[in-house]
Amino acid sequence: MTKNIINLLNITSTIKEIGVKSLEGKRISVEEAVLLFEEANLSFLGMLADAICRAKNGTRVCYIRNSHIEPTNICIHHCRFCSYSARQTGNAWESDHDEMLKQVSSLELNIRELHITGGVHPGRDLNYYGELLKKIKEIRPDIHVKAFSAIEIDYMIKKAGLSYIEGLTFLKGCGLDAIPGGGAEIFDEEIRKQICDDKTSSSNWLLIHEIAHNIGLSSNATMLYGHLETYEHRVDHMNRLRALQDKTGGFNAFIPLKFKNQNNEFSYLKETTIIEDLKNFAISRIFLDNFTHIKSYWPALGRNIAQLSLSFGVDDLDGTINDSTKIYSLAGAEDQNPSMNESEMCELITQAGKIPYERDGAYNEIS
């Protein structure tokens, strides 16, 4: 997409100006991003986001061979959108070290990354998870461990009576390589009160990630959209992430996470349309100019929408997963047993006109 093409499109002069500004590599404002949500049509947003994505990553789309461990669904928090916790399912479970280490031992040798996250268990502390990390690294010293959302970290560190930097340094010493982006939800404090009132605050979520970045732990960033928030709330959320990325450069990828409405307190809400999902990806790519990667988490969206998102600014299709996560399955996701092998993932990317490549947990290309 070029500036000349933008001038030929049947769109308002203001939207054209925002498009040209983005193509020139200039940062758009919060107000301009909200205007894109409100007024820009999907085809324009797709062309613009794809052009920006190509400038950053070419036509290449990455994936990883990964697996998830979910230690427990017992949780101290009362998130109204959650379909996963024991409070919602009525079926509490918790895996001990031996059970989780058995999962690690059974992983194929080509699995590059282990993603560990689950409920905030009141009886498990920093030492419990630190010992787990050490044992995992004894079995698989090569595997990249991305573990514990800021919400889990907040609880275990406070329970230990340590500062964030002390707790995160301890976990890093035990074998933690990165932290996932879960728990961000929507940063706006008023919306947060309505959807997850007793959860870690927005400021503490950001602080934990900032400290992690400062001690050499990379992380991802997420946003849960499609519930009570407005466009202004979405852009405010991304703006806070963009500001932290300016400061630390520690985020690997941004992952918009779609709210699913089954088996939770917000079941009365309609889910967002495919058009809205794609618009959200595109504007994420346009606005987050300092993020290299935008990820489409296919277990939440389904394979078809995830494939479509590759034309709307997405260059990361997450991983093979191997049916090792149930968080979105319990919320009514299309794929109840999320798993794709490498061949299926590459075919999905190739069919979208993109070039697949395998990465490791630190986003290095695997030869």
**What is the chain's pLDDT, residue by residue, as a tens digit (367 residues)?**
666 667 667 678 899 899 999 999 999 999 999 999 999 999 999 999 999 999 999 999 999 999 999 999 899 999 998 887 766 566 888 999 999 999 999 999 999 999 999 999 999 999 999 999 999 999 999 999 999 999 999 999 999 999 999 999 999 999 999 999 999 999 999 999 999 999 999 999 999 999 999 999 999 999 999 999 999 999 999 999 999 999 999 999 999 999 998 888 999 999 999 999 999 999 999 999 999 999 999 988 989 999 999 999 999 999 988 654 545 444 444 555 667 889 999 999 999 999 999 999 999 999 7
* This model's pTM is above 0.75: yes
Per-residue confidence (pLDDT) for residue 328, from 0 to 100: 45
Give a three-class secondary structure readout of the chain.
Answer: CCHHHHHHCCCCHHHHHHHHHHHCCCCCCHHHHHHHHHHCCHHHHHHHHHHHHHHHHCCEEEEECEEEECCECCCCCCCCCCCCCHHHHCCCCECCHHHHHHHHHCCCCCCCEEEECCCCCCCCCHHHHHHHHHHHHHHCCCCEEEECCHHHHHHHHHHHCCCHHHHHHHHHHHCCCEECCCCCCCCCHHHHHHHHCCCCCHHHHHHHHHHHHHCCCEEEEEEEECCCCCHHHHHHHHHHHHHHHHHHCCEEEEEEEECCCCCCCCCCCCCCCHHHHHHHHHHHHHHCCCCCEEECCHHHHCHHHHHHHCCCCCCEEEECCCCCCCCCCCCCCCCCCCCCCHHHHHHHHHHCCCEEEEECCCCCECC
In order of their start, the domains of the chain are 53-358 (3.20.20.70)
Per-residue confidence (pLDDT) for residue 83, from 0 to 100: 82
